[in-house]
Amino acid sequence: MEFWIESHGVKTTTLDQLVQKHCQPNQPRPPLASNQLNGMLKGFIDLLLVHEGRYYVVDWKSNWLGKDDAAYTRMAMQLEMLHHRYDLQAVLYVLALHRLLKARLPNYDYDA
> What secondary structure letter does DSSP report for 31?
P
CA 23, distance to chain mean position in Å, is 9
Q: Would you please indicate which residues are annotated as catalytic (active-site) residues?
A: 59
Distances (CA, A) of 37 to 26, 76, 98: 25, 31, 20
Burial of 50 (0-12, 13-18, 19+ CB in 10 A): exposed
* Three-class DSSP category at 61: coil
d(CA 20, CA 23): 5
